[in-house]
Structure 1
Amino acid sequence: MAQLGGQGQQLIILPEDTSRLLGRDAQRMNIMAGKVLAETVRTTLGPKGMDKMLVDGLGDIVVTNDGVTILKEMDIQHPAAKMLVEVAKTQEDEVGDGTTTAVIIAGELLKKAEALLEQDIHPTVIVMGYRNAAAKAQEILNNIAIDAADRETLKQVAMTAMTGKGTETAREPLAELIVSAVKQVEEDGEINKDSIHIQRIQGATVAESEIVNGVVLDKGRLDPSMPKEVQDAKIALLKYPVEVKDLETDAKINLTDPSQMQAFIEQEEQMIRDMVDKIIASGANVLFCQKGIDDLAQHYLAKAGILAAKRVRKSDIERLEKATGAKVVTNIDDLTPEDLGEAGRVHEKKIFDELMIFIEDCKDPKAVSLILRGSTKHVAEEVERAVEDALGVVSATVEDGQVVAGGGAPEIAISKGLKDYADTVSGREQLAISAFAEALEVVPKTLAENAGLDSIDALVDLRSAHEKSPYMGLNVFKGDVTDMKAANVIEPKRVKKQAIQSAAEAAEMILRIDDMIASSKSGQPSPEEMAAAGMGGMPGGMPPM
């Protein structure tokens, strides 16, 4: 609202039910939301991080220490907190790991900015300092990166990513499977992670997980009379349903004689028989159809000794193309022997209580399947999340060919470099760059806290060790500072690059907000309600137990 000149009248610009927070209040509220969210996931960081149990409205349980999974499962309402969830999602999409790191760095950057705001340093100055610091951090990261993408390095990267994620006992065999899968689907130095299909099955132990050089479909053959196993398979992939199509327009057929009805049925049967004959004529002995297959067609296919499955997912059809060399045929009339794919063996197999079709022994397949086992559903789910993270980091290492040491080593090295850089910058931006440098130390500090070590002693020892080598990190199992490069604790450079960049950008965006205007129709709590609630607990998060 505003007063009009000397009239004394009020001019209403916003609806009456709109709420608003201005200036320092808006900044304080957003910073608090970021800090609370970072604190929520902070205890999950590192090999000795703890797990969270998340229970949704239906009573379904998720037990995990995967940062992005925790943030997705929490019902977060606060708009600034949602921006940090986006940071985690971007990190997950880009690299697959480092989501917790990205969020806690963003939270610490906001915390350091709050102290600078208290000193009356303008948010724009802080933002410019953070931007320069983020750019300088990338330079320092490039200088400390190690060129390596050999098989042994990839295995170590995978094992580092899986440490502390419920796969501890079977890290080595799983790392071997992951590296084999990534190497198999690599094309011209690029990896399409969709080509690696993860099939999660409970029962048995994690160590009994396996790789299939081909595709595994989570469905059985259509008819028990179909062959259970086909050697030297010739595979047809159809988009077209093997059934009589419904008329596209509403139509009535008037039958005046029972013989006409019989002729109509026979004609339909003949059309289906013709379709099956075309499949047989192509030489196919295995059929996977994206749409439906008529019961009568199933009978004829079984009689011809063809193993068939219907309603196969589009993503599975695409993987079958890459694995077998088959071409997807849209029109059954166009099916020729040249369109067929090849596999050494196609067979149905029951694992635990699930029937599956294995298409394996393919010639240089560009799609593979990983069968992951776990003693219970929740264990199998957590194993899957750990393997997905490891697949992401191994793929990033293959594509970039660069790694950095783990255990908080890169953060300390970058922090040290930024403090030296801050001394060369004049004006108040120097304070923001120093704050950025200190914020990065939250990673080794958190690693120490989660391992039950003294975080101050750990930081002092790390800073001292970095005077000699940039690869010195915190060994949380022994409780001392170790050369992480020599200890084979390594991560892809891209994990750190993306985490620092996205955390800095999110912090910048939140710091530039000085006005929060919320409509009551938005369904979000108003700024006043959020202020009154004092941001207690998780922002708009899980209900009290």
Structure 2
Amino acid sequence: MLKMLLDPMGGIVLTNDGHAILREIEVAHPAAKSMIELSRTQDEEVGDGTTTVIILAGEMLAQALPQLERNIHPVVIISAYKRALADALEIIQDISVPVDVNDDKQMYSLISASIGTKFVSRWSDLMCSLALQAVRTVTHDIGGGKKEVDIKRYARVEKIPGGEIEDSRVLDGVMLNKDITHPKMRRRIEHPRIVLLDCTLEYKKGESQTNIEISKEEDWNRILQIEEEQVKAMCDAIIAVKPDLVITEKGVSGTVHPGTNDESIRQHY
């Protein structure tokens, strides 16, 4: 059953995931913070069982309370929990069974056990296929017959408004959800030549660092012309390498002054 939450910013969250609910809660008690941190760690390391781990931890704390009331030192209680942990790990080793990660049927069975409690359980087959395909896409060998799967760095879930859940798919590459800035821009580019920039594509604004004295109207026009020349010089430098796609992490000038060639340059992309 889905729960509806209202976050402090006024947003509405519909979920039945324990971690999604706990991370919206603001608490000050150290023990409560530790429980929320425990749920976050479970979600990052395993991806499922966040509610179970909270219930289990709460029950362990409840069992420790009578021992504290009997004046048993917390160190003694913790040492008993550590012994229980060692015993549990031995039992897990005995009852565990090997898993063939190349067996799709066996992997679907494991993934569906996690997805079955989520909202997307009605699309279980599709979600199992997407999850398995995404993990295999980001899997790489690290030597010694070992493989590493870092889904936090290399796998992202991008949500796009519209469409149906059945339209979901795995993209083997980088997705940039951006709109075109000119109708003549190409909608499809195969094998693009990409330029990555860490600098701004704007003219440098003097603002408070520059003093300008204007005595006639032509001086103001010259100031605008200098701005245009800086933008055009940057565009010419980019066009010189003939890129199909330009990506910058800084700002991009959207100003087009009358008479500038910036608009024709923008049509180039």
**Counterpart of 1:497?**
none
Structure 2 unaligned blocks of 5 or more: 142-146
d(CA) in 2 for partners of 1:177 and 1:66?
Answer: 20
Whether the 8 Å contact between 1:222 and 1:298 is mirrored in structure 2 is no
Whether the 8 Å contact between 1:243 and 1:272 is mirrored in structure 2 is yes
Report sequence identity in percent.
32
Whether the 8 Å contact between 1:276 and 1:300 is mirrored in structure 2 is no
TM-score, L = length of structure 1: 0.43
**Counterpart of 2:231?**
272
* Number of equivalenced pairs: 256
Structure number with greater CO (CA < 8 Å, separation at least 6) is 1
d(CA) in 1 for partners of 2:74 and 2:225?
Answer: 79
Q: Cα offset for 1:289?
A: 1.9
The amino acid that maps onto 2:235 is V
Output aligned runs, 1:129-528, within 5 Å: 129-148=80-99, 149-152=101-104, 153-188=106-141, 189-193=147-151, 194-247=153-206, 250-295=209-254, 296=256, 299-304=263-268, 306=269
Q: Cα offset for 1:119?
A: 5.8
The amino acid that maps onto 2:186 is P
**Alpha-carbon displacement from aligned partner over 1:278-323 (angstroms, at most 9, x marks no partner):** 211112011122122223486243332x1xxxxxxxxxxxxxxxxx
d(CA) in 2 for partners of 1:241 and 1:74?
Answer: 39
1:232 is paired with a residue whose SS is coil
Residues 143 and 269 (structure 1 numbering): CA distance in 2 closer, same or farther, change over 3 Å?
A: same
d(CA) in 2 for partners of 1:108 and 1:216?
Answer: 44
Whether the 8 Å contact between 1:185 and 1:192 is mirrored in structure 2 is yes
Residues 129 and 160 (structure 1 numbering): CA distance in 2 closer, same or farther, change over 3 Å?
A: same
Q: Cα offset for 1:130?
A: 0.8
2:20 aligned with 1:64, yes or no? no
d(CA) in 1 for partners of 2:57 and 2:185?
Answer: 57
Whether the 8 Å contact between 1:51 and 1:64 is mirrored in structure 2 is yes
Q: Cα offset for 1:133?
A: 0.9
**Alpha-carbon displacement from aligned partner over 1:319-353 (angstroms, at most 9, x marks no partner):** xxxxxxxxxxxxxxxxxxxxxxxxxxxxxxxxxxx
Whether the 8 Å contact between 2:231 and 2:262 is mirrored in structure 1 is no
d(CA) in 2 for partners of 1:265 and 1:58?
Answer: 42
d(CA) in 2 for partners of 1:270 and 1:94?
Answer: 53
Q: Cα offset for 1:74?
A: 2.6
Whether the 8 Å contact between 2:202 and 2:252 is mirrored in structure 1 is yes
2:29 aligned with 1:78, yes or no? yes
Whether the 8 Å contact between 1:54 and 1:74 is mirrored in structure 2 is no
Residues 302 and 124 (structure 1 numbering): CA distance in 2 closer, same or farther, change over 3 Å?
A: closer
Q: Cα offset for 1:91?
A: 1.6
**Counterpart of 1:346?**
none
TM-score, L = length of structure 2: 0.83
The amino acid that maps onto 1:275 is M
1:198 is paired with a residue whose SS is coil
Residues 266 and 203 (structure 1 numbering): CA distance in 2 closer, same or farther, change over 3 Å?
A: closer
Residues 118 and 268 (structure 1 numbering): CA distance in 2 closer, same or farther, change over 3 Å?
A: closer
The amino acid that maps onto 2:176 is L
Task: Please give the root-mean-square deviation of Cα atoms over the aligned residues, in Å.
Answer: 2.5
d(CA) in 1 for partners of 2:103 and 2:139?
Answer: 13
Whether the 8 Å contact between 1:51 and 1:63 is mirrored in structure 2 is yes
Whether the 8 Å contact between 1:237 and 1:289 is mirrored in structure 2 is yes
Q: Tell me which protein shows more strand as a share of its residues.
A: 1
Residues 303 and 72 (structure 1 numbering): CA distance in 2 closer, same or farther, change over 3 Å?
A: closer
Q: Cα offset for 1:102?
A: 1.4
